[in-house]
Structure 1
Amino acid sequence: MHDRGWTPPLPQTETPMSSTITELLGEDQKYLLEHRCETIDSSRLHLPGPDFLERVLCGTDRNQRVVNNLARLFGHGRLRDTGYVSILPVDQGIEHSAGASFAPNLDYFDPENIVKLAIEGGCNAVASTFGVLGAVSRKYAHRIPFLVKINHNELLSYPNTYDQVMFGQVDRAHDMGATAVGATIYFGSPESRRQIVEVAESFERAHELGLATVLWCYLRNPAFKTDQDYHTSADLTGQANHLGVTIQADIIKQKLPTNNGGYNAIAFGKTSPLVYQKLTTDHPIDLCRYQVANCFMGRAGLINSGGASSGASDLAEAVKTAVINKRAGGTGLISGRKAFQRPMPEGVELLHKIQDVYLDKEITVA
C-alpha cells in the first residue's frame, strides 16, 4: 500500500533551530514557522525524504541509469540522503550578460571558481552552460554532479528578443560526464510551443542516456502584466509546472509565487473558482503548496529560485524562501546570484544557511 501521507524523518541536528535563522526571519518568524496549511493537506503529497527515490521514482518508467544519476544528485553535498537539494546555478553570463553578472565579483569570469563555490558550499550539484562546465569537466565532473543547461536566452541581439534557443546537444552533456540536463521554457510566449517540442525531445533523449532532467518553468508574455505582474502568480506558475511534469521533467524549477489570480485578471484560459476559494489563500506557503500540487502532488520535486541579489538583505531573503519552499512540501532551493556576486566565503555561508533550513528538524512541512 502506498503511504501518501508519510512524513519524512528529518536528519538530527546538534542543536535546536538556529537562532540565526529565526533572527533572519525577523517579523515573519511566527507567520512562517507557525502556519498550518488548511488548503491542500500534506497527507496528499509525496513529500521529500531519504527514501523518496524508492518510494516514488522507482515506480516510474525511468530506466536504471536515470535512477542512478538522481541518486547521485540527491546523495551529494550537505543535504545528501535527506530528499532535499541545494543547487548552485550560474548561467547568468548568457541569460543576463557576463558583465551584468560577474562585474560585482571578477572571480566568476573563471569557470573553475563557479565549480569551487558549489563544492565549498556543500551543494548537491552545479548548474551552468556547456562552456563553463566543459572547461573544467575532466577535473571536476567526478567530484560534484554537473547539471548542464542546454538552452538559453541571449541578450546581444538588437533589439532584444526573449526566446530560449538550443546551445548544444544532450549527447555532449552525457559525454562530459553530466548527471543531469536542464532547460527553460517560456510558457505563455509565442515561442513556447516550439520550445515545448524541443525540450520534450531533448528530455526524452536525456532519459535514454540515463541523465536526469530539470526544467525552468518560467512565464513570459507582456500581457501577463496588468494591475500586477502575474508572471509569478500561483495559478499560472502552477499550470506551467503541470506542463513541465507532463514532458517528464524530474525536477521543476519555479519562481516563488508572489500573488494569485492571473487567469481571472488577464481573462484567458480556464480555471476553477475552487482554486481561489479552497486550494489557495494569500499566505506564501499556501501559494507555494499549490505549485507543489501541480508537480503531480510532489512526484516531481519543486525547487524555487533564490532570485536576484539585492545586497545586504540577500541572506534573510534566501532563508525566508527556503522556509516557504520546505514548509510547502518543496524539494529545495536553487540560488545563484545571491551566492556568487559576493566574496566566496560569504557565498559559502549563504549556501550553508539555506541548507541549514532543510537540515533543521524543527522546520516542518505545514
Structure 2
Amino acid sequence: MSLARITDLLGKEADDLLSYQCKTFPKEQLHTPSPDFVDRVFALSNRNPQVLRNLQAMYDHGRLAGTGYLSILPVDQGIEHTAGASFAKDPLYFDPENIIKLAIEGNCNAVATTFGNLAMMSRKYAHKIPFLVKLNHNELLTYPTKYNQIMFGTVKDAWNLGAAAVGATVYFGSEQSDRQIIEVAEAFEEAHAMGMATVLWCYTRNNAFKKDGVNYETSADITGQANHIGVTIQADIIKQKMPDVNGGFTAINFSKSDPLMYSKLSTNHPIDLCRYQLANCYMGRAGLINSGGESKGASDLADSVKHAVVNKRAGGTGLILGRRAFQRPFQEGVDFLHTIQDVYLAKEISIA
C-alpha cells in the first residue's frame, strides 16, 4: 500500500499524525524496533538462548520479518466474549484451523489463541507459524458476570504443544489483581526457564475508573503504570489498549502522580500519549503492541491504520489485531491484516 493510500485513510488527521514531532521523551532515548532488536536488548538480559531463539523466530516470521515490528493475530474471544458472540459474523472460525490459516495467509508474525485451539492443530501447524498460547482467561458463564482472569492450563502444556511464547492477562486495578500478578509472574518465570517468550495483556479494569462520563481505564497514566508493572514481572512484550485520555490518577484521586507527568512527559496528542505508555515499557526495551479494539464496521480500517501510525511513530512494536480481521469474510480479513502491516513497512513513516 502506498503512502498516498495511508494518507487517504487518515483523512483530515493525516498531516498532523504523519508530521508531528514529539517533544516529551526524545526518540534518541528510546529502544526502537530494528532488525537487530533481540541482539541489542534481550541478548543483554537474563533470558536464556532458547528464549532468544523463540523471540527471534517471531520477529523473523511473516511480512514484517526482519523489521523489528510485529503483526500478531489474537483470537481468545471464544472464551473472553463467548464463541457465539465472537464468531457469529463468520462461523468459519468455530473451527480453530481457520484461525491459524488466517494468521498464515495474513502473513502474521505469530498466532495467539487458546490452549484448545492450538493443541487441536499442534502437529499440523506448530512448525509453520509461531504459536503464542494464552494461559488465562475471563470466563463469562458465571452469573452475575464477574471479571477475573483464571488459569486454563499450565506452562508445560504450552511447551508440549510447541509454543514459541505464552501470553496472559492481568486486570490491574481489579479486586483479584494481586493474585493475578503473582500467578502470572510465576508462570512467566517458568516459561522463560523452558525457553518461551512472554507477552502480557496489561489491561486495567475497575468501575471506579469511570467518572463523569470518562473511562480512565484507557488513560495514559494508568495504563502506563500497568505497563511498568508488566515489565517488572518480566514480560518481553506488552499488549495495551491505545490511550485516548490522560489524568486518570488525578481525576479519580488515587495512587501517586507528579504534575510533570502531564506537563512535560505527555500532552493530549495521541502520539505523546502512546509514547508515555512506551516509556513505561523500560523505554521500549519491552516492545509495546497496541490492541485493535472491537469491530465497529465500516470505520475499522481507517481506525486501525490511525492506531498503527500512532503506535509506530510513538516507537511501538506493532498492532495485535483480532476481531477487526476475523469478524469479516476470510479474504477481507487477510487484506485487512496486510493493510496494517503496510504501515510498518512504509519507510516514509518515521518515529516522531
* TM-score of Structure 1 vs Structure 2, range by shorter chain: over 0.9
**Match for 1:201: what amino acid?**
E
In structure 2, what is the equivalent of residue 329 of structure 1? 315
C-alpha distance in structure 2 between counterparts of 1:33 and 1:224, whole Å: 32
**Match for 2:273: what amino acid?**
L
Task: Give the match's secondary structure for 2:168.
Answer: strand
1:120-160 CA-partner distances (Å, limit 9, x unpaired): 00100000000011110100010000000000001111110
C-alpha distance in structure 2 between counterparts of 1:113 and 1:74, whole Å: 23
Shift of residue 21, structure 1, vs aligned partner: 1.0
C-alpha distance in structure 2 between counterparts of 1:224 and 1:294, whole Å: 20
- The match for 2:90 among 80, 105, 108 is 105
1:173-192 equivalences in 2 (<5 Å): 173-192=158-177
In structure 2, what is the equivalent of residue 52 of structure 1? 37
Q: Percent identity?
A: 67
Shift of residue 20, structure 1, vs aligned partner: 1.5
- The match for 2:306 among 297, 320, 331 is 320
In structure 2, what is the equivalent of residue 67 of structure 1? 52
In structure 1, what is the equivalent of residue 224 of structure 2? 238
TM-score normalized by the length of structure 2: 0.99
1:29-67 CA-partner distances (Å, limit 9, x unpaired): 011001000111101100100011111110000000000
> Is 1:273 the counterpart of 2:259 in the alignment?
yes
C-alpha distance in structure 2 between counterparts of 1:177 and 1:134, whole Å: 9
TM-score normalized by the length of structure 1: 0.95
Task: Give the match's secondary structure for 1:29.
Answer: helix
- The match for 1:361 among 333, 337, 347 is 347
C-alpha distance in structure 2 between counterparts of 1:81 and 1:209, whole Å: 25
Number of equivalenced pairs: 351
Shift of residue 18, structure 1, vs aligned partner: 2.8
Structure 1: gaps (5+ residues): 1-14
Shift of residue 337, structure 1, vs aligned partner: 0.2
1:138-196 CA-partner distances (Å, limit 9, x unpaired): 00010000000000001111110000000000000001000000000000011000000
**Match for 2:86: what amino acid?**
S
C-alpha distance in structure 2 between counterparts of 1:31 and 1:348, whole Å: 29
Shift of residue 239, structure 1, vs aligned partner: 0.1
Shift of residue 361, structure 1, vs aligned partner: 0.2
C-alpha distance in structure 1 between counterparts of 2:174 and 2:92, whole Å: 35
In structure 2, what is the equivalent of residue 11 of structure 1? none
In structure 2, what is the equivalent of residue 9 of structure 1? none
- The match for 1:130 among 92, 115, 128 is 115
> Is 1:298 the counterpart of 2:322 in the alignment?
no
Runs of 4+ displaced beyond 6 Å? none
